[in-house]
Structure 1
Amino acid sequence: MPVTEKALISKITWRIMPFLGFLYLIAYIDRQNVSYAKLQMVDALGLSEYAYGLGASLFFIGYFLFEVPSNLFLERFGASRWFARILISWGAITIALAYTQNATMFYVLRFLLGVAEAGFFPGVLYLLTLWFPRDYRGRMVGLFMIFSAFANAIGAPLGGVLLDLDGFLGYAGWEWVFLATGVPAVIAGVVTLFYLPDRPEKAHFLSSDEKAWLAERLARENAGMSAEADNGFKALVNPRVLLMALCYVGFPLAAYGLSYWLPTIVEGFGVTNTVNGLINIIPWLIVAAALYIVPAMADRTENKTPYIVGPAFAGAIFLVLSAVVTNHTLQFVFLCVAAAGIFAGQPVFWSLPGRFLRGAGAAAGIAAINSVGNLGGFVAQNVVPWIKDETGSTIAPMFFLAACLAAAGVLVIVVGRYARSLERLGGPVPMPGPDKLITKK
Structure 2
Amino acid sequence: MASDAALERSTLRKAALRLLPLMGLGYGIAFMDRVNISFAALQMNRDLHFSASVYGLGAGLFFISYAALEIPSNLILARVGARRWIARIMFTWGVIAVGMMFVRTPWQFYVMRFLLGAAEAGFFPGVIYHLTLWFPAQHRGRAISRFYVAGPLASAFMGAVAGSLLGLEGRLSLSGWQWLFLVQGIPAILMSLLFLLYLPDTPATAKWLSSDEKRWLETGLAADHALTRSPGEHNTFKALRDPRVLAFVALNFMTLGAYYAFNLSAPSVLETATGLSAGRIGFFVSIAGLMGAAAMIFNGWHSDLRRERYLHLAAPLLIQAACFAVMASTHAPVVMLGAYMILITANWAAAAVIWLIPGEILDPRSVAVAVAGINGIGQLGSFVMPYAWGLARDATGDFHTGLAALTAPYLIAGAIVLVLRQGHRRRLLTVAPAA
* Smaller-chain TM-score bracket: over 0.9
Find 2:278's aligned residue among 273, 276, 284: 273
Find 1:106's aligned residue among 102, 105, 109: 109
Matched residue type, 1:405: Y
1:360 Cα deviation (Å)?
5.0
Equivalent residue number for residue 320 of structure 1 = 325
Q: Does 1:377 align with 2:382?
A: yes
Q: Does 1:411 align with 2:412?
A: no
1:419 Cα deviation (Å)?
7.0
Q: Residues 172-207 of structure 1: CA distance to partner in whole angstroms, max 9, x if unpaired?
A: 111111111111100101121001111111111111
**CA 1:81/1:422 → structure 2, altered by over 3 Å: closer, same or farther?**
closer
1:321 Cα deviation (Å)?
1.2
1:227 Cα deviation (Å)?
5.6
Find 1:239's aligned residue among 219, 224, 243: 243
Matched residue type, 2:327: S
8 A Cα contact 2:90 2:120, kept in partner: yes
Equivalent residue number for residue 146 of structure 2 = 143
- Which 4+ runs in 1 deviate beyond 4 A? 227-231, 418-424
Provide TM-score, normalisation by structure 1: 0.92
Find 1:364's aligned residue among 363, 369, 379: 369
Find 2:256's aligned residue among 239, 252, 263: 252
Q: Residues 211-250 of structure 1: CA distance to partner in whole angstroms, max 9, x if unpaired?
A: 0110111112212312679753333333332222122222
1:97 Cα deviation (Å)?
1.0
Equivalent residue number for residue 226 of structure 1 = 230
1:301 Cα deviation (Å)?
2.5
Q: Does 1:153 align with 2:171?
A: no
Between 1:166-175 and 1:156-165, the stretch displaced more is 156-165
Q: Residues 355-393 of structure 1: CA distance to partner in whole angstroms, max 9, x if unpaired?
A: 244555211111000112222211232122222222322
SS at match of 2:149: helix
Q: Does 1:47 align with 2:30?
A: no
Equivalent residue number for residue 93 of structure 1 = 96
Counterpart CA distance in 1 for 2:13 and 2:62 is: 36
Structure 2, unpaired ranges of 5+:
none
Identical amino acids, percent of aligned pairs:
37
Structure 1 residues 62-73: aligned runs within 5 Å: 62-73=65-76
Equivalent residue number for residue 312 of structure 2 = 307
Find 2:288's aligned residue among 273, 283, 289: 283
SS at match of 1:280: helix
Between 1:362-371 and 1:399-408, the stretch displaced more is 399-408
Between 1:286-295 and 1:337-346, the stretch displaced more is 337-346
Equivalent residue number for residue 18 of structure 2 = 15
Find 1:118's aligned residue among 116, 121, 141: 121
8 A Cα contact 1:50 1:389, kept in partner: yes
Q: Does 1:193 align with 2:196?
A: yes
Counterpart CA distance in 2 for 1:177 and 1:231 is: 45
Counterpart CA distance in 1 for 2:233 and 2:15 is: 25
8 A Cα contact 2:264 2:386, kept in partner: yes
Matched residue type, 1:161: S
1:403 Cα deviation (Å)?
1.5
Matched residue type, 1:256: Y
Counterpart CA distance in 1 for 2:259 and 2:27 is: 16
Counterpart CA distance in 1 for 2:424 and 2:295 is: 29
Counterpart CA distance in 1 for 2:302 and 2:13 is: 18
Counterpart CA distance in 2 for 1:36 and 1:395 is: 20
Q: Residues 26-76 of structure 1: CA distance to partner in whole angstroms, max 9, x if unpaired?
A: 000000011011111112222211111101110000001000000011111
8 A Cα contact 1:161 1:273, kept in partner: no
**CA 1:162/1:246 → structure 2, altered by over 3 Å: closer, same or farther?**
same
Equivalent residue number for residue 334 of structure 1 = 339
**CA 1:160/1:190 → structure 2, altered by over 3 Å: closer, same or farther?**
same
Matched residue type, 2:246: L
Equivalent residue number for residue 387 of structure 1 = 392
1:144 Cα deviation (Å)?
1.7
8 A Cα contact 2:140 2:356, kept in partner: yes
Q: Does 1:213 align with 2:216?
A: yes
Structure 1, unpaired ranges of 5+:
427-435
8 A Cα contact 2:96 2:115, kept in partner: yes
RMSD (Å), alpha carbons: 2.3
1:276 Cα deviation (Å)?
2.2
